[in-house]
Structure 1
Amino acid sequence: MSSTLIALSTLLGLAAASIKSCPANAPISCQTSGTIQNTCCTEVQGQILQTQFWDSSPATGPANSFTIHGLWPDNCDGTYEATCDSSRAYTDIDCILQNKGHGDILSYMETYWKDYQGDDESFWEHEWSKHGTCYSTLNPSCYTNYQPEDELVDFLNTTITLFKKLPTYDWLASAGITPSSSKTYTNAQITNALKSKFGATPILSCTSGKLNQVEYVFNVRGSVANGQFIAVNPTGTKGNCPTSGIKWLPKDLSTTPEANEGSCS
């Protein structure tokens, strides 16, 4: 199939409304040479990885779905910058979302963006501070009428919006690949099933031969908040799953940790 293109501008209606507009012909990330002139409209770290977990024990999330790991920028070659702005290492993300009227985002995250130890809030804070603060197109200077944490809301919303468009469990199940305590699969079986839906090669990661992570790679035209995400093959980043004998274990929901719940004033 042709490469997947997801236009977030038609899906998002949150803080992205105050993001500065970009020209329709803005350069696509990772496809420019030399210095990027408008870092609000072309990502400096331009290869974007939507990363999903499969935790079987301790189990996280629903039995029939992967969960969100994060949305990672890299330098188009597998290297990346991290923790780029400690002054925006926001905490109490659950309270920020509630106070800004985005309880719907928080509710989705509480189901699909899970920490294997039950500390979802710390996990979200880590993903934002390590990766989210490094997006050039989400810099506060890229907004008009900027309000604190607008870019955090956009980061979280983009991450879950892409996740909803990448139903890994369903794509594998449609190819006859389902979790099993005894059956194994080849790397090619899993890769081809996902590639046929996504339009580009995903990155598969395993622990002791067990599938536990899938990464989908994009370049983006415009802002991460409301741009066009174009499926591409990864450059510089490789998975570590074996060529055969890959196990995809069912989730043991009896091992799911109880989430730590905070309170907002």
Structure 2
Amino acid sequence: MRHRAGLVLGLVGLADVAAAGLYPGIAPDNHTCALADPVLSCSCQARPDKVKDSCCVETFGGLLIATQLWSTFTGLEDKGQVYPKNEWSIHGLWPGQLLQRFRHSPAQLSCSHEERNPDLITQFPGSYTQYCDFSRQYDPRPSPNTTDGQPGGVPVPAYQGESIEKWFEPYGKLDLLAYMRKHWVSQHDSNWVFWAHEFSKHATCFSTFQKECYVSIVKTLHVRGRRRTFQVTPPVAHQGPKASEHDDLFDFFETAVAWQRRLPSFQWLSDAGIRPSNTTGYTFSAVRHALTRAFGQPPFLGCGGPKYNETRAGRGSNDSGRTEINEIWYYYHVNGTPQRGDARKLNADEAGGRLTTCALAPGAIKYYERAEGSEEGDLSAEMMEM
């Protein structure tokens, strides 16, 4: 009994803190961002104490990272869950903080670490924040399951509610749902779980997607204890009276989709002769060059699979990079809000600290074809849906 009582009190206190959001002093009205001059994120003018409305300026981390995935199968092909043909799928839209060395560079507008945002940087050390508002925690399987990713960190309560797919039709968003089912595809899990994860982990950490910018949310968290389920109700924020409950969620999804649509990675690579193949090996420098030429700045290229020096071809090499292409991250600063789509492209090495996890040896990385039946338009995939 003592353990369970302690758990309840701990979770109630946790909900009080997390539900307050990053900017608890935001007023419930007067968020007309068209009347505000756009401010570049990560600039001196983007400090919370400098901006008039943090709903209209990205004031916390300052980085925007549009991320895409390349996977070869979903594991749920028998349910009709397949990837879009000739296209990288959406991973998400993330906020982030600049590396310390980049904060002090001339490209950072000569705005020092202390001048910009000392309290928030101290509160959330490192390059990324996550699960910043438990009143909007819809992720059934939080990963990581603490707010700082450390075993001793604040635990993230698992969502026990209904599928968020049920929320699209009442809001007149069936067209958005159809698009996300096709282009924002999960592996080994239902799509909605992936979407809920991306929203809860990342959207809640943008200043411009804070719930104070939209609506009052009355929500019950379902947190599983050892033997029973406790219900924790966070305090209600005072927000715009005419907004709908999930305006923030749909705004985030639409914004993530908009950024994806301006990044045709598959076509950019294909134009350079880099196409999925189960036999051809590619060199990282060639892939980087193709993406940099098309995007304008080098993005981050992620690889999984075995390390090159653990493969037969790389045995004896010092190259421990991975060998299977699976992710691209595009870095930006934004003028005003991410919703506006006005951004300054950044070098991933300067903004994020690295360009790749891939092997660097010539011909060392593979860009595998998707499995038969795992891509829209495959005959076997169509037969599974019948």
Q: Is TM > 0.5 for Structure 1 vs Structure 2?
A: yes
Match of 1:226 in 2: 340
Q: How many residues align?
A: 240
Match of 2:61 in 1: 45
Counterpart of 2:365, as a letter, is: I
- Please give the alpha-carbon distance, in whole angstroms, between the structure 2 residues aligned to 1:237 and 1:106: 35
Q: Secondary structure at the match of 1:254?
A: coil
Moved over 6 A (4+): none
Distance 1:35 1:62, change over 3 A: closer
- The one of 87, 90, 96 aligned to 1:74: 96
Q: Secondary structure at the match of 2:338?
A: coil
- The one of 178, 195, 200 aligned to 1:129: 200
C-alpha offsets along residues 218-251 of structure 1, whole Å, 9 cap, x if unaligned?
A: 1111122235122211213422011131100000
Match of 2:111 in 1: none
Match of 1:242 in 2: 359
- Please give the alpha-carbon distance, in whole angstroms, between the structure 2 residues aligned to 1:248 and 1:96: 36
Larger-gyration structure (1/2): 2
219-228 vs 207-216, greater mean Cα deviation: 219-228
Match of 2:280 in 1: 183
Distance 1:110 1:142, change over 3 A: same
Counterpart of 2:278, as a letter, is: S
156-165 vs 226-235, greater mean Cα deviation: 226-235
Match of 2:12 in 1: none
CA positional deviation for 1:177 = 0.7
- Please give the alpha-carbon distance, in whole angstroms, between the structure 1 residues aligned to 2:43 and 2:203: 22
Gaps of 5+ in 2: 1-29, 76-81, 100-125, 139-161, 215-239, 306-322, 376-380, 382-386
Q: Is the 8 A contact 2:67 2:329 kept in 1?
A: yes
Q: Is the 8 A contact 2:40 2:333 kept in 1?
A: yes
- Please give the alpha-carbon distance, in whole angstroms, between the structure 2 residues aligned to 1:212 and 1:67: 10
Distance 1:107 1:58, change over 3 A: closer
Q: Secondary structure at the match of 2:175?
A: helix
Aligned-residue identity in percent: 32
- Please give the alpha-carbon distance, in whole angstroms, between the structure 1 residues aligned to 2:197 and 2:266: 25
Which residues in structure 2 correspond to 1:1-265 (within 5 Å)? 20-22=32-34, 25-32=37-44, 35-36=47-48, 37-38=50-51, 39-43=54-58, 44-58=60-74, 60-77=82-99, 79-90=127-138, 92-143=163-214, 145-208=242-305, 209-234=323-348, 235-238=351-354, 239-244=356-361, 245-254=364-373
- Please give the alpha-carbon distance, in whole angstroms, between the structure 1 residues aligned to 2:277 and 2:209: 41
181-190 vs 91-100, greater mean Cα deviation: 91-100
> Whose RCO is larger (CA < 8 A, sep 6+)?
1
38-47 vs 104-113, greater mean Cα deviation: 38-47
Q: Is the 8 A contact 1:58 1:252 kept in 2?
A: no
- Please give the alpha-carbon distance, in whole angstroms, between the structure 1 residues aligned to 2:372 and 2:63: 34
CA positional deviation for 1:34 = 7.8
Q: Is the 8 A contact 1:41 1:221 kept in 2?
A: no
- Please give the alpha-carbon distance, in whole angstroms, between the structure 2 residues aligned to 1:146 and 1:32: 31
Gaps of 5+ in 1: 1-17, 259-265
Counterpart of 1:246, as a letter, is: I
Match of 1:11 in 2: none
Distance 1:35 1:229, change over 3 A: closer
Q: Is the 8 A contact 2:39 2:46 kept in 1?
A: no
Distance 1:227 1:169, change over 3 A: closer
- Please give the alpha-carbon distance, in whole angstroms, between the structure 1 residues aligned to 2:43 and 2:74: 40
Q: Secondary structure at the match of 2:339?
A: coil
CA positional deviation for 1:95 = 1.8
- Please give the alpha-carbon distance, in whole angstroms, between the structure 1 residues aligned to 2:325 and 2:93: 19
107-116 vs 55-64, greater mean Cα deviation: 55-64
CA positional deviation for 1:72 = 0.7
